[in-house]
Each structure stands twice: as structure tokens, then as C-alpha cells.
Structure 1
């Protein structure tokens, strides 16, 4: 019989191919394109610091202007082995020259737009063949100048893959067999389910690149317009991709990208033998992004939201107090979070008892066990419920308010009770109550 009463009891999943999978970051490239935010050099360097603390293998960044190059130099001055700083270029020699002019960059991505709207309307190219020639020439130029390459196959999930994209990838691999083929789900049309054919099926696309074309390095870059970016990234890993390109908090154009923190937690907590990333700074990283970059983080956002380890309702809080495994998917310290019990209109006596005992310990520096039927505890509960019943309260009871209730009922009442008992004793004929 299987017993699951602790995190360590739960079985972990194995990746089907049993190969090493890695993460590359685009927070400083795609994420920086998010409307309404501006990343200064100091912000980029601090983000780089967090990525290093986590153990992310690569990041990509623009090299177009002095601000970009200044940030790169500051990151390189840290002397870290990882994340490796890589470049990004459009498919022309001039852009690749900009990458080559930055000392220390040995790899670049090359944008290769493959859907018809991008080829004909955005780029104003006359034919698909013209687009292919442009992309292959740029790739050859990068390889000839000693760069490792990534082919960013833009809008692949809305393109004619069998007749155009797959033949293009075949030619890319002839030029650079080690080229990383990035599947760009640019508008979020990708589907993570098996047996969905191209252009949508991420499993189908990955398996074709791996099994039919022999691509050694396959990477997903998924946008979240339909809310499937993380699922599509995981589907990529499941069917043979060895890289996923993500951003922290999923920032980026429109609905953003696959969220790094979600992918990290899934890999570390759910996948067997996956220990290479340190997630203990994730909450701190999120607070930095909120304060310094201006990214608003919903309270209920997975992994880093304020409510992830907050408990209010009676059933949940009672369960967590007795065994956190009951209602928490992983311990808060894994991501640098902190458990928090809140008193609200759905809270029960267990969480109130816990908060009162916690407050008494803070005030008196000693643990005091309070019975849940203690009249003083029940009086506090009645006072709080009265606030909610009379519709006077629309928020949780703060720790400061709990402290005031404890002072009122536990610090003052015992003195009153003691005086009352003394008078009653004096009036009792046999000195008994």
C-alpha cells in the first residue's frame, strides 16, 4: 500500500528521453520589449545576478545601442561562467557584425520569420525562396565568422512547415549541424497535445525536427496569448527538445512568454533527479522586478504571489497547521517564500488559536498553549465575527489588531478575573467556588 503523507513520499516523473534539459533566458531581450517598462543597465546587471544565483545556463540580449553594450560589459565584469551572454540579430550581416564587435560573445540567435504574413507583409519579400536565401546567407556569414548559432524560426506555429519550414531547417543543419533550432510560438497558437499536426502541434514539430531532420539542439520559445506557454514549453521537453527559452514572470510582448519560475519549480519538484537549479531567490527576484521594473504581481500568481503560502479559510488553515503538506504543494523556503496565516471571514478557531499563541510568544517570550474552548479565545472570535457580520469589515484582521485583542483579553482580563475570584472567595462560607 502506498502512503503519501509527506513531500518525499510522492513519486517523481521521468523525462521520456532521459537527457539533460536546460533553460535560456530572454528577460533582457523579449522581456525588455514589454510595453510600459524601461530597464536600465543597473537593472539588467541585477537580473543577471539573480539568473546566476538560480543557475540559468544562457541569456540573450540586444547589442544595438550603447546602453545594451554597457550592460553587457558590466555583466561580463562579474566574471561568472553562467549564464552565458549570447547575442541576437536580424538575418543580415550588419546585425551579425554588431554581435561580432562585442568581445566575449560567442553565440547569436538569428531571426528567421517563416509565416506568410511575416515574409510578405512585414518584410515585403517577393517569395518564400527569397526569405530562405536571406536566412541561409546570414547563417553562413555567422558561421564563417566563428559564431555558434541559434535559428529563431519565428511564427512557426502559423507557417507551412512541411513545404517550407522543414526544408529550410534541413538546409540550416547542413550549414551548422549544431545550430539550435528555436521553435517560436510567436502568437501563442501552439498546442501541447500529442497527435495534433502542424502548424499547431508542439510535440509533432519537435519530434519531426529530432527524428526526421536529426536536429541535435531544439528549443521552444512560447508566448502566452492562449495561456499555454508553460504547457507548450514542457511539451517540448517531453518530446525531445533540450532547451526552453523563457522570461522571468513571463514578461514580454502582449501576454508575455513562458514563465521561468513556473518551469523551474515544476522541474525541481516534479522531475526525477533535477537538482541543478537553486530556487531560493525566486520571491526576492519577484519583489525586485515589482519594485524596480514596475511589474505588478497578482497576489495569486503561482510560485511568487503573496497568497501562495497564505492561508485564511478554516479547513485550509487547520490542515496546514497540523501538516503543511495537506494544502501546500512544496515548502515555502524552496522559493524563498514565507508561510502566512490570515484571519478573515472564513477563518476558524484553529487559525485564531495559532495566531493568539504566536502573539503571546512574541509578547512574553514563552510558549503558552491555549485551549480552543478558552472563553478569552472565543470572545476574540466573537468580536471578529461581529465585524464581518455587520459588514463593517472588508479585509483580513491584521497582526496589529490580533495583538490588541490579545492584550485586551489575555493580558488585562486575567487581572480582572483574579480580583473577582478573590472577592468571591471572601464571600464563600467554606472558601470554595
Structure 2
């Protein structure tokens, strides 16, 4: 019989294809296009440093203006081996020349929009054939000038893959056999389930590009309009992709992208033999983005939200106090978080006792045990419950308020035995 009582007891799962998988980050490119935010040069460099501390292999960035180029120069001056700084270009030689002008950049992505709405309505091209010629010419130009390439197959989950996209990818691979084929779920129509057919099925899409077209490098780039970006990214790995392109906190256009932190945690904590990333700065990274960039992080956002390791309700807090594994799927220190016990309207006596003992220790520098039925403890509980019962309170009780209760009932009005006299025989 198997006992699952610690984190180490739980089995890990294996990627069925057994391939080495990596992550490229688009926080400085796709993330920077999020409406309402502006990434300054020093912001970009700081984000680069966080990605370096985590161990992310690549990042992509624009090269169009002085701000972009200044940030790239400062990132390269750090001398880090990773993340590798890579460029991004539209399918135009002028864009690729901008990448080439930064001599230290050795790889660029090239945008290749493949859905009919993009080809005809957005770009105003006369035919699919004209689009293909434009894309292949740009790719050939980049290869001829010594760049490694990524083909950004934009809006693939709304495209005619069988009759147009797959034949074009075959020609891409003839020009650059090692080109990273980025399968872009541009507006989130992708589905992570097996047997979902063209054009939505991510598993079938990855399988075809890997097994039929023989692509060596396959990357997913998934948007979260239907809430499936992370699931689709994992499905990509599951069926043979070796890269996933994500952004920190999922920032980006509309509903954003697959979240870097979620993919990292899944790989590090759930996949067997996977330990190449350091997640301890994730919580700090999120606070930087909230403080400096203005990204509002919901309290209940997984991994980096303030409530991820916060416990209030009686059953939950009692369980966590006895064994954190009861209600915490991973220890706080894994992502640089901190456990917190809160007193609210659903809190029980166990968490209140914990907080009182902790407060007494802080005040007296002595470890003191308080019995569950101690009348002083029960008096504090009654006072707090009266606040909620009379609807005088709509928030948790702060640590400062707990201290005030402890001082009132344990220090200033101690309950003592009525008779302190010596017993006589």
C-alpha cells in the first residue's frame, strides 16, 4: 500500500516522448504589447536579470527603436550565457537588417501570418502563394546572412494547415532544416485534446510537424483567450514539441499568453528528472512587475498571488499547522513565497491559538503554550466573532489587532487562580 503523506511520496509523471524541453520568453516582445503598460529600458534589463536567475534559455525582443537597442546593449553587456537574446522581425529584409545591425544577435524570429483573414485583410496580399513567397524570401535572406531562424506561423489554429501551411513548412525546412517552427495559437482557439482535428488540435498539429514534416525544433506560442494557453503549451510538450514561448504573468495582448511561472512550476514539480530551473525568485519577480510596471496581480493568482500560502478557514489552517502538505501543493520556499495564517470570519480556534502563541513569543521572547479551552483565548475568539456577527468587519484581523487582544487578555488582565495560599496538610 502506498502512503502519500509528504511531497516526496507523490510520484512524478514522464513526458511520453522523453525529449529535452526548453523555454523561450516573450515578456519583452509580446508582453510589452499589453495595453496600458510601458516597459522602460531599466525595466527590460531587470526582467532579463530575473530570467537569468531562473535559468530561462532564450528571450525575444524588438529591435525597432533606440529604447529597444539600448536595452539589448545593456543586456548583452551583462555577459550572461543565458537567456540568449534573440530578435524578431516581420517578413521583410529591412526588418532583418535591423537585427543584423546588432552583431551579437545570432537568431531571429520571422513573422509568417497564415490564416486567410491575416493574409488578405490584414496584409492586403493577393493570394496565399504571394504570402508564401514573401515569407520564404525573408527566411532565405536571414539564413544567407548567417542567422538562425524561428518561423512564427501566426494564427495557425484558424488556417488551412493541410492545403497551405504544412506544405509551406516543408519548404521552410528545406531552406533551414534546424528552423524552429513556432506553432502560434494567436487568438486562443487551440484545443489540448487528442483526436481534435484541423485546425484546432494542438496534439495533432505537433504530431504532424514532428512526424510527417520531420521538424527538429517545434515551439508552441499560445494565447489565453479561452483560458487554455498553459494547457495547450503542456500538450505541445506532451506530443513532442521541445520549446514553449511564454510571458511572465501571462502578460500580452488581450487575455495574454501562457504564463511562464505556471509552466515552470509544472515542469519542476510534476515532471520526472526535471530540475534545471530555479524558481525561488518568482514571488519577488511578481512583486517587481506589480510595483514597477503596474501589473495588478489578483490575490488568488496561482504561484505568485498573496493568498497562495495564506490560510484562514478553520479546517484548512488546522491541517496546515499540523502538516503543510495537507493543503499546500508545494512548499512556499520553492517560489520564494511565505506562509501566512489569517484570522477571519471562518477561522477556528486552532489558528487563533497559533497566532496567540506566536504573538506571545514575539512579545515575551519565550515559547508559551496556550490550551485550546483557555478562557482568555476563548474571550478573544468571542470578541472577534462579535465583530463579524454584528457586520462591523469585512476584512481579516491584522497581526497588530491580534497583538492588542493578546496584550489585553494575557498581559494586562491575566486570569489567576482565586487562591494562591499554601495548602496545609
User: What TM-score do you get using the length of structure 2 for normalisation?
Assistant: 0.99
For 2:317 and 2:86, how far apart are their aligned partners in 1? Answer: 46
Superposition pairs for residues 17-56 of structure 1, below 5 Å? 17-56=17-56
Deviation string 1:8-29 (CA, Å, 9 cap, x unpaired) is 0000000011111000000000
Superposition pairs for residues 166-185 of structure 1, below 5 Å? 166-185=166-185
Gaps of 5+ in 1: none
Superposition pairs for residues 97-246 of structure 1, below 5 Å? 97-246=97-246
User: Are 1:417 and 2:416 counterparts?
Assistant: yes
For 2:17 and 2:202, how far apart are their aligned partners in 1? Answer: 16
For 1:305 and 1:376, how far apart are their aligned partners in 2? Answer: 34
Deviation string 1:304-326 (CA, Å, 9 cap, x unpaired) is 00000000000000000000000
Q: CA deviation at 1:135?
A: 0.3
Deviation string 1:198-227 (CA, Å, 9 cap, x unpaired) is 100000000000000000000000000000
Q: Secondary structure at the match of 2:413?
A: helix
For 1:265 and 1:361, how far apart are their aligned partners in 2? Answer: 35
The aligned residue for residue 406 of structure 1 is 406
Q: Secondary structure at the match of 2:328?
A: coil
The aligned residue for residue 371 of structure 1 is 371
The aligned residue for residue 275 of structure 2 is 275
For 2:345 and 2:296, how far apart are their aligned partners in 1? Answer: 27
The aligned residue for residue 317 of structure 2 is 317
User: Are 1:301 and 2:301 counterparts?
Assistant: yes
Q: CA deviation at 1:417?
A: 3.0
User: Are 1:341 and 2:317 counterparts?
Assistant: no
The aligned residue for residue 381 of structure 1 is 381
Aligned length: 425
Deviation string 1:51-80 (CA, Å, 9 cap, x unpaired) is 000000000000000110000000001100
Q: CA deviation at 1:431?
A: 7.1
For 1:341 and 1:123, how far apart are their aligned partners in 2? Answer: 55
* CA RMSD, 1 decimal: 1.1
Deviation string 1:122-172 (CA, Å, 9 cap, x unpaired) is 000000000000000000000000000000000000000000000000000
The aligned residue for residue 352 of structure 1 is 352
Deviation string 1:65-107 (CA, Å, 9 cap, x unpaired) is 0110000000001100000000000001000000000121000
For 1:417 and 1:11, how far apart are their aligned partners in 2? Answer: 53
For 1:53 and 1:312, how far apart are their aligned partners in 2? Answer: 33
Q: Secondary structure at the match of 1:417?
A: coil
For 2:320 and 2:40, how far apart are their aligned partners in 1? Answer: 42
The aligned residue for residue 66 of structure 2 is 66
Q: CA deviation at 1:278?
A: 0.1
Deviation string 1:178-211 (CA, Å, 9 cap, x unpaired) is 0000000000000000000110000000000000
Q: Secondary structure at the match of 2:8?
A: helix
Q: CA deviation at 1:421?
A: 3.8
The aligned residue for residue 330 of structure 2 is 330
Q: CA deviation at 1:290?
A: 0.2
For 2:254 and 2:300, how far apart are their aligned partners in 1? Answer: 20
Q: Secondary structure at the match of 2:112?
A: strand
Q: CA deviation at 1:366?
A: 1.2
User: What TM-score do you get using the length of structure 1 for normalisation?
Assistant: 0.97
For 2:209 and 2:199, how far apart are their aligned partners in 1? Answer: 13
For 1:117 and 1:17, how far apart are their aligned partners in 2? Answer: 35
Superposition pairs for residues 68-83 of structure 1, below 5 Å? 68-83=68-83
Q: Secondary structure at the match of 1:245?
A: strand
For 2:11 and 2:385, how far apart are their aligned partners in 1? Answer: 42
Runs of 4+ in structure 1 off by over 6 angstroms are none
